[in-house]
Structure 1
Amino acid sequence: MKGLGGVNKVVVIGLGMTGLSVVHHLLRLSPSMDIKVIDTRDTPPGHDQLPDSVALCCGQWNMDWLLAADMIVASPGIALATPELQTAAHAGVEIVGDIELFARAVDKPVVAITGSNGKSTVTSLVGEMAKEAGINVGVGGNIGFAALDMLINQHDLYVLELSSFQLETTSSLALKAAVYLNLSEDHMDRYPGGLRQYSEAKMRIFHHAELAVFNRDDMATQPDVNTAMTSFGFDDRAYGLVRIEGREWLAVNGEALMPADEIALVGRHNVANSLAALALADAAGIDRAASCRALRRYQGLSHRCQLVVNHAGVRWVNDSKATNLASTQAALSGLSLDGTLHLLVGGDGKGADFSELAPILAEMNVRLYCYGRDREAFLPLAAQSVAVDTLVEATTLAAQQARAGDMIMLSPACASLDQFANFMARGDAFVALAEALKDRIGEMH
């Protein structure tokens, strides 16, 4: 079997969508393979979808299985520093992730995206550019479809969003092009070595890339690799911007492509995302005219600065995807507002320092509604701030305080797992609250 010669016994760590995709992929390669699954949850999602031939250990580790394996396929959510995995690694057992299995099986061009923020937007945007050009494209990885499931459809191009966790267990992914969008503090609870260790994991995306794309406005993203490189940024070099008769245009090496104000996505950070997507699209052979059409049409993903309700003069904006400080900073950058910003923040801060928000908030007419596990960390950041337990309480209070001309924005700067299954569930809850509370605007005035 391709890339798995000599592997007969595999233990998959973690079930759910990714774990199931690994099991099904391995069985497609070799129906007789000895596959076992370990999940430390008592009732893991997807347990009822496992084939009868696959043994499952729930609620605990099984070291006998791990040490007898030829290969361990670990979920991105399981840190390699986990003692049980360390023991297996020291015993010589190979540990990989689903993206490494994908790398060993894929036979069509792949481009990939990593970074602290903007990954999902750029990944989806490159996918839209490919579709606009009539290319049979698969878009997935850390967004949407599990990478291994996409192989079933035999796409002509694959676009992958890759997290640092996925890259930790990936060593042979050959890419037409890879981009590292930006670096900011995130997942510090996973990386005892701090920002340096976190960035080193992300840099692994460039190891086998034909073209490395970095952010020249964030030089921490520039790799030290012996490969072709290009960059994106807000000056007129490479993928950048030029000014023509007072109007800003997207450009490549000084050649103007389209006015920046015709991009459908909102916000300065999305101009940078569009330039990064263009660089990948060019490397993948996507027609530039098609790429520009996609830029004019694509309005973005749910939960990312998404206007969900505009009622009684108050705009409700769902930015639940802002799971770290830099995402919230990007959402606030250049925000123009006549009234007050009612900003909902909090959740699981993952060990981050939120003090960098203070100078941004000081320039705004803002009220903070701080909720969740790390709500206390946000209270000193603005003159007007209040702490509550839940998102429901925070949103209800904001609705009562808001009046025409204001904005109620969920941009939490934190992970959601203290109160929600994921950021999508958090965003969906906020949207439902917006619909339910929109007629209660200004009850406290």
Structure 2
Amino acid sequence: MKRIVILGAGESGAGAAVLAKSKGFDTFVSDMSLIKSHYKELLDNQNIAWEEGQHTEELILSADEIIKSPGIPNDAPIILKLKAKGTPIISEIEFAGRYTNAKMICITGSNGKTTTTSLIYHIFKSAGVNVGLAGNIGKSLALQVATEKHDYYIIELSSFQLDNMYNFKADIAVLMNITPDHLDRYDHNMQNYIDAKFRIAQNQTPEDAFIFWNDDPIIKCQLDKHGIHAHLYPFSAMKENDAIAYVDDNEVIINEPIAFNMEQEKLALTGTHNLYNSLAAGISANLAGITKEHIRKALSDFKGVEHRLEKVARVRGIDFINDSKATNVNSCWYALQSMTTKAILIIGGKDKGNDYTEIEDLVKEKCSGLVYLGLHNEKLHDFFDHLGLPVSDVQSMKDAVDASYQMAKKGETVLLSPCCASFDLFKSYEDRGDQFKKYVCDL
């Protein structure tokens, strides 16, 4: 019997284990951290062996194939030993794709992928399509393949997930943008990160679709290098020669495969970055044959994504916005660009090799103060202090909320848009955003 070992027992790992067990594999799960109780219960119910707080090498190195959590770096000691043995290492998405004939709509990008994925899912669900949401959001694709069986899956893919995908194919691939991110995981080599993102189009044929932002300079110059075989569907904010979707005279227009239009002001999501998200989602739904009426309705009544420019409260004339999902500089750039008032920016966390030059001018223009939230704020001081803005150093979310509240004037906005990963002080960006909302509501 083929032995499959799953490294990491979070959402993807536990789901992969259930699918592996259901297909008759000798299945074992190992996690260096403690496993959450509901995942333990899921594994126990399926009679799947597991361990936590360690990686027992003799149980792992005996595997015929490894399914790796995307959070485990490729240079982790156990991974290096497996590579030395030549053991195949794949992602949960790669594994799940072997056991379903469902259509796959896959979304990646440095920014906007969660909103775009959620919006596409909303359109499909509203239209009555039998659809699942998976990848970085929703339930594990593997668990859904094992227990639910959908006709379509809308899948948000990080570069880490794409790294360990080889034969999986997206019927519709969406690449929103590419800006520097996670460079600490890619040897601080931007090309390595770019190559990971373009893996979303690998294995595509001329019958498949590749949707991308036409104005992204990196995507444009890398298209030929990566030899995309799918039909190209470029979108842009404005009408251009190549773009098949754009805005013209306040009308959202999609020309292929079926002509579609709607008034821009009726889009539920506002701001330039959300226009791109809406265009990509509209093209995806159009390609899948969803009616114009369903697309228009869903684009106009979508409620947005938690932790992404989420309005929390107005306290004594000061607005508080939770953009905890902004874990890179470009994402913070979009948030600052959308500000219509002066802002106190809460920034900081686990730096991933960030270059803050991209937001320097917007910080000068939009910010009236900065709150540095992190265990190590030296890089922020070195880069931003010369701007002469009031600055506060904090190491807890309560202190960040209190400091920004004291710094802000009536009519201004407090914006949590950290540019960084959350793991120095928080469990996740969701934990960081939830704490922000709690302490704002406590004011």
* TM-score after normalising by structure 2: 0.91
* Match runs of 1:172-211 below 5 Å: 172-209=167-204, 210-211=208-209
2:218 aligns with 220
1:50 aligns with 2:50: no
Q: 2:55 aligns with which of 61, 72, 93?
A: 61
Distance 2:129 2:52 in 1: 42
**Cα distance in 2 for residues equivalent to 1:421 and 1:202:** 25
Q: 1:393 aligns with which of 399, 419, 422?
A: 399
What is the CA distance between 1:22 and its match in structure 2? Answer: 1.2
* Counterpart in the other structure of 1:441: none
1:65: how far off? 2.6
- Cα 1:281–1:43, aligned 2, differ >3 Å: closer, same or farther? closer
2:100 counterpart letter in structure 1:
V
| CA separation of 1:256 and 1:281: change in aligned 2, threshold 3 A | closer
- Measured at CA, do residues 433 and 361 of structure 1 come closer, stay the same or move farther in structure 2, by a change above 3 Å? same
1:310-334 Cα deviation digits (max 9, x unpaired)? 2322111111111111110011114
Kindly indicate whether residue 441 of structure 2 is the aligned counterpart of residue 412 of structure 1: no
Return the offset for 1:335. 2.0
Which AA in structure 1 matches 2:370?
Answer: L
Q: 1:235 aligns with which of 235, 238, 246?
A: 238
**Superposition pairs of residues 288-307 of structure 1, within 5 angstroms:** 288-307=292-311
Offset of 1:401 from its aligned partner? 2.5
Tell me how far 1:290 sits from its aligned partner.
Answer: 1.0
Give the counterpart letter for 1:243 in structure 2.
D
1:343 counterpart SS class: strand
Q: Do 2:247 and 2:264's aligned partners in 1 also have CA atoms closer than 8 Å?
A: no
Kindly state the Cα deviation for residue 121 of structure 1 after the two structures are TM-superposed: 0.3
Partner of residue 150, structure 2: 155
2:30 aligned with 1:38: yes
Please tell me the root mean square deviation across aligned C-alpha atoms, in Å: 1.9
Distance in 1 (CA, whole Å) between partners of 2:438 and 2:51 is: 37
2:261 matches 1:267: no
Structure 2 residue corresponding to 1:276, chosen from 277, 280, 286? 280
Conserved? CA contact 1:321–1:424, under 8 Å: yes
Alignment correspondent of 1:137: 131
Equivalent residue letter for 1:321: K
Partners of 2:124 and 2:418 in 1: CA distance: 32
Equivalent residues of 1:216, 1:231 under 8 A apart:
yes
Aligned with residue 122 of structure 1, among 116, 122, 127: 116
Change (3 A) 1:374 1:261: farther
Instruction: Kindly indicate whether the alpha-carbon contact (under 8 Å) linking 2:345 and 2:367 is maintained by their aligned counterparts in 1.
Output: no
- What does residue 170 of structure 1 align with? 165
Per the alignment, in what secondary structure is the counterpart of residue 366 of structure 2?
Answer: coil
Structure 2 contact 238–248 (Cα < 8 Å) conserved: no
The one-letter amino acid paired with 2:218 is: A
Whole-Å separation in 1 of the counterparts to 2:34 and 2:284: 42
1:335 is the counterpart of 2:339: yes
Match of 1:364 in 2: 366
Per the alignment, in what secondary structure is the counterpart of residue 362 of structure 2?
A: helix
Comparing 190-199 with 231-240, which one deviates more in the overlay? Answer: 231-240
With 230-239 and 122-131 compared, the bigger mean Cα shift is at: 230-239
CA contact (8 A) 2:67 2:91 kept: yes
Q: 1:25·1:149 contact (CA, 8 Å) conserved in 2?
A: yes
Structure 1 residue 263, shift from structure 2 partner: 0.9
What is the CA deviation profile of residues 91-121 of structure 1, one whole-angstrom value per residue up to 9, with x for unaligned ones? Answer: 2321111001111011111100001111110
Retained in 2: the 8 A contact 1:176–1:284?
Answer: no
Q: Say yes or no: does 1:345 pair with 2:343.
A: no
- Specify the code of the residue in structure 1 equivalent to 2:303: Q
Question: Counterparts of 1:74 and 1:243 in 2: how far apart (Å)?
Answer: 45
Report deviation, 1:352. 1.4
Please say if residues 185 and 352 of structure 1, whose CA atoms lie closer than 8 Å, have aligned partners that are also in contact.
yes
For the residue of structure 1 that corresponds to 2:116, the secondary structure is helix
**Counterpart Cα distance in 2 of 1:288 and 1:176:** 21
- SS where residue 50 of structure 1 aligns? helix
Alignment of 1:285 with 2:278, yes or no, is no
Contact persistence 2:401–2:436 (CA under 8 A): yes
Deviation string, structure 1 residues 126-171 (Cα, Å, up to 9, x no partner): 0111122211211111112111122222212110000111111111
Is there any run of 5+ residues in structure 2 with no aligned partner, and where?
Answer: none
Q: C-alpha displacement at 1:356, in angstroms?
A: 2.3
Worse-matched range after superposition: 94-103 or 207-216: 207-216
Give SS of 1:105's match.
coil
Long gaps (5+) in structure 1: 1-6, 438-445
Deviations 1:317-371 (CA, angstroms, capped at 9, x unpaired) = 111111111110011114211xx31111111112212232211111224211111
Single out whichever of 407-416 and 87-96 deviates more from structure 2: 87-96
Counterparts of 1:291 and 1:75, CA distance in 2: 34
Corresponding residue pairs, total: 424
Within 2, Cα distance between the matches of 1:56 and 1:299? Answer: 39
CA contact (8 A) 2:392 2:403 kept: no
> Could you tell me how far 1:82 is from its partner in structure 2?
2.6
Q: Name 1:428's counterpart in structure 2.
A: 434
Note the C-alpha offset of 1:399.
1.2
Whole-Å Cα distance in 1 between the matches of residues 376 and 329 of structure 2?
13
For residues 405-430 of structure 1, the C-alpha deviation after alignment (integer angstroms, 9 at most, x for no partner) is: 11111111111111111111111111
C-alpha separation in 1, matches of 2:337 and 2:396 = 26
